[in-house]
Every structure is written in structure tokens, then in C-alpha cells.
Structure 1
Amino acid sequence: MTPYRSLFDLSDRRALVIGAGSGIGAAVAQGLSAFGAFVTCADLDLGAAERVRVGLEGPGEATRLDLTDSAQVAAVIGALPKLDILICTPAINVRKRLLELSEAEFERVVNLNLKGSFFALQAAGRRMAEAGGGSIVLFSSIRAQVVEPGQGVYAATKAGALQLVRALAAELGPYGVRANAIAPGVVETPLTAPIKAHPEWYRAYADKGALGRWATPDEMVGAAVFLASRAASYVTGTLLVVDGGWTAVDGRFTPPL
């Protein structure tokens, strides 16, 4: 009989969380630790990663990692005793219309969101394929599916990263490696903090979803733990949408039914 109670148990797993210093990455690192994983908290800000590491329920470590540096990504992943779970969360956005975006701004977003994701997927994929298994979870976005003015390049990188995940799932399935993506809706993180300074904008985003509010980073943990665990042993190449109904609701007007 399948030991269903143990499906989410990560006590024998080693996880690397890239972007663990704040926001969704910090919450996911804490969540994986709570389910028993040994967590390596990686972030460009080593101090932030260390603060998250100290707050873990179980054992862990902190390391500095620049996701845009392919050699550093490969070195950090290669130095781990083993790698069962990779969670990759970092992203940036430059909110400008496409006709106003500079080449430097375009490259800045692409270099982290798409190119950096590729570095992590490639290095972790190689390590897991050699070991004969593992789970890769990349944080994409609802912007991989829907877009609005000022989000063009960000959306393109999130859609591109999703396709990288799907390709990796197809290529590494025979090696027992699963690759999936999570698409959050609007989440209160450092990336979205500037929107809070505009109450009408903030409220409009809240009203767009079926639940009428923003998400908190801890509400992304369940999806990440699921995809990382044995509970998702037959789930690969998919996009798990955690958006409070954003992509299900058509428009902001509620008709008088």
C-alpha cells in the first residue's frame, strides 16, 4: 500500500533555493525546511540568505549566488554533496512601454529572468540527470500567459523560461528528472512593493482576481512543496497557476445578474 502520509516528507532531500533572501524564495526555503529538507539558501545578498537560514526549522546553509554568472551557478551547484530539489525564484522588471525601453534595460531583464534561469536549469539538470532523478521548480508568472502595457519584456522572459522548463522536462524525463513551473499572480514581494505606493493601482490588481486580494509569499509554499515532493511524482512539464483566479476572471466588471 502506498504510504500516503509520507508523500510530502522531504527529510531525505537536499534543496537549493535560489533567491532565498526575500519574498517568495525566503518563504519557500522555510517551507521546504519545515517538511524536512536540508536547504541551501542562495542569494546575491549573502546577508539576507544567512538571515533566512537562521530562521529555518531544520538544518541548512547560506551561500552567495549571482544567477547571471554561469560559472558561479555551475560552481555552487557542483559543490553541493547532492541535489534533489532546485527552486529558482529571482526576477526583475522594468515597467516601460516597448517603444520607450532602452537596449540596456531590455538586456538587464533578459539577463536575469531568462538567461539566469537557463544557467540554473542547465547546471541543475546536468547534476540531477547524472544522479538519476530530481525535481526542478522554476517560478514563472501569470505574465507568461497574459500581459498588460509596460510588461512586455518581463512577460516575454517569463514565457521563455516556461518553455525552457517544458523542454527540459521532455529531455530529462528518461533520466527521472522532473521540471515544472509555478505561475504566481500578484504577490506582495519586494518586486511589487512600488505598486503599493499607488492605492488605486494596488486595489485594481486585488479586484482583478476572484479572491479580491493579493497573495502573500507563504501562499506559494504549498505549490512548491507539492512539485518538489513525491506527491508530484507523475507531474512534469506543467505550469501550476497560483493566481487567486486572476486568469479565470474576465475583466473587472461584475454584471447585475
Structure 2
Amino acid sequence: MTGNATHQPATAPGDLFRLDGRRAVVIGAGSGIGAASARALAAHGAGVVCADRDLAAATATAAATGGEPYLLDILDRAAVRAAPAELGDVDVLVFTPATNIRRRLVDYADEEFDHIVDLNLRAPFDLVRAFGRPMAERGRGSIIGVSSIRAVTVEPAQGIYSATKAGLVALLNTAAAELGPLGVRVNTLAPGVVESPMTTWAQSDPVRYDAYAAKTVLGRWAQPEEMAGAVVFLASDAASYVTAGVLTVDGGWTAVDGRFAPPE
């Protein structure tokens, strides 16, 4: 891959967030942040491919967005390698899938470690490699991966998850450095606590749910739709000079040191 980054054309202020004529692939579009992102990208004019290992869920999101469903298990390396050719030119790639096993480090089984690393870090590497190359060859594209505030703030029993999310930030920053001169922007979204299928274990525990809500400045959990605006921004011309960025959307969680309010 050779060449220089293409000059970013001027965009009218009212059109900065429009994605008309662009093709976006959202992996994990069957639920949660992925589904919300697919809906938001479509609402801003993108043609959206709703990819998920659950084809029925992907089909439901596609029906709601006017997009197209696509069956993809990102743990299947051959399927990931084949996807760009099957899908054609892709302008925006968003990927959200991740997993977690809550266990202290000394208690992890080897296969549990491998499973988390495979889905949270190896699979994103495969996606960046597969989709980044054709984007670079065309001289344009935006890749957005979903990390977590756990990349920078750890919690007991979430160590491997945190390690993979920190690794994902480093991976995507490296991709940004390598693909930026070829016209491809790469950024990371770092959510806080979001009411999604991945966090049902905490949502079902009133004590933990309330404690997590109280840790945010806003005093509540986020909805998946509240992550979608950040995805649209990073995909659009509004973020034409944003790459190697980590956009934290956490209700202020990582900014606040404890909950002590000093007397006035």
C-alpha cells in the first residue's frame, strides 16, 4: 500500500454529520451499542450493513434501518478475510463485540483467558487487517472500535477484560498511525456503564447497579443510543481531523475521584 492521504474536501457546516452515499458496516449490529449505531448511521444517510453472528438479530436491525443483514462470526478468521470482497467498498467500519468472564486473575482457566483475548483483541486485529487494506487502497475510510473505560480504570475480577480493552486502544492507535497517511482514520470509543446485553449481570444486582450509577457525574447508566452520536461523529466529516483518538462517553466516571463533596 502506497500513497498519500487524500485532501479532505470542504463540507458545508450543515452537512458535517451527513453520511449520504457512504457504506457502513456495523459488526455486532444485532443488539446494544451496535444496533443503536446502525440506526444512527442510517438516520444520517449511510447505507448500513448490519453484521452479527446472530442472523435473526441482524435482520431485525436491518429491517429497522433499511439496511442489509450479514452473517459474520468474527472468531471465524476465514469469514473475516472474505467479508470485504463480499461486501464491496466500505467507507465506515464499526465493531462492538466483546466478552468478559468475571474472575480474579489467579482463578482464571487457560481457556477462559484465551476466549476473552480471541474475541476482544485478536478478532479486532483481524477486522482492521481485513477492512483496513482495501480502505487504504481507495484512500479513504473510517474505522471505529469500541473499547471501554476499563482500559484505564480497572476493577477486581475484570483484569483480562481490562487488559484486552487497553490493548485494543494501542492496536487502533497503531492502525491510525499506519493507515493515516493513506487516508484512513481510526478511532476508539470508550463507553462507561451502558444498559446492554453485556451488562445484564450488573443490571440484575440492585446494589451493584446503584453503585455504578452513583460513580458517574450524571448519576445514571447510559442507554446504547447515547453512544451512537459519538459513532456518527467519528464516522463523519465532522471528525475529518480526528484520528488515533479515544472518545470517552462515560457520564464523567473517569473524571471524578470519589464521591466526597467538600463543605462550602
The ranges of structure 1 where at least 4 consecutive aligned residues each deviate by more than 6 angstroms after the TM superposition are none
With structure 1 as the length reference, what TM-score do the two structures score? 0.97
Separation of aligned partners in 2, 1:63 and 1:163: 28
Superposition deviation, residue 2 in structure 1: 4.6
Separation of aligned partners in 2, 1:10 and 1:75: 25
> Are 1:91 and 2:98 an aligned pair?
yes
Residues 27-54 of structure 1 deviation map (CA, whole Å, 9 limit, x = unaligned): 0000000001000000010000000100
Quick check: 2:11–2:237 contact (8 Å CA) kept in 1? no
Residues 144-163 of structure 1: matches in 2 within 5 Å? Answer: 144-163=151-170
Quick check: 1:91–1:113 contact (8 Å CA) kept in 2? yes
| Identity across matched positions, percent | 56
Gaps of 5+ in 1: none
Separation of aligned partners in 1, 2:261 and 2:78: 51
> Are 1:203 and 2:210 an aligned pair?
yes
Task: Name the SS of the counterpart of 2:50 in structure 1.
Answer: strand
Separation of aligned partners in 2, 1:234 and 1:15: 19
Separation of aligned partners in 1, 2:212 and 2:150: 13
**Alignment correspondent of 2:139:** 132
Superposition deviation, residue 211 in structure 1: 0.4
Worse-superposed segment, 41-50 or 69-78 = 69-78
The aligned amino acid for 1:153 is I
**Alignment correspondent of 1:219:** 226
* CA RMSD in angstroms, aligned pairs only: 1.0
**Alignment correspondent of 1:190:** 197
Residues 173-219 of structure 1 deviation map (CA, whole Å, 9 limit, x = unaligned): 11100000000000000000111221010000000010000000000
Separation of aligned partners in 2, 1:147 and 1:85: 30
Residues 110-143 of structure 1 deviation map (CA, whole Å, 9 limit, x = unaligned): 0000011111111111110011110000001001
**Alignment correspondent of 1:18:** 27
**Alignment correspondent of 1:8:** 17
Separation of aligned partners in 1, 2:222 and 2:141: 28
Task: Name the SS of the counterpart of 2:251 in structure 1.
Answer: coil
Gaps of 5+ in 2: 1-9
Task: Name the SS of the counterpart of 1:210 in structure 2.
Answer: coil
Q: Which residue of 52, 64, 72 corresponds with 1:55?
A: 64
Separation of aligned partners in 2, 1:78 and 1:255: 59
> Are 1:75 and 2:109 an aligned pair?
no
The aligned amino acid for 2:248 is V
Q: Which residue of 26, 33, 39 corresponds with 1:30?
A: 39
Separation of aligned partners in 2, 1:184 and 1:160: 16
With structure 2 as the length reference, what TM-score do the two structures score? 0.95
The aligned amino acid for 1:43 is D
Separation of aligned partners in 2, 1:254 and 1:199: 24
**Alignment correspondent of 2:184:** 177
Separation of aligned partners in 2, 1:102 and 1:256: 48
* Equivalent pairs, count: 255
Separation of aligned partners in 1, 2:99 and 2:166: 14
Superposition deviation, residue 252 in structure 1: 3.0
Worse-superposed segment, 2-11 or 179-188 = 2-11
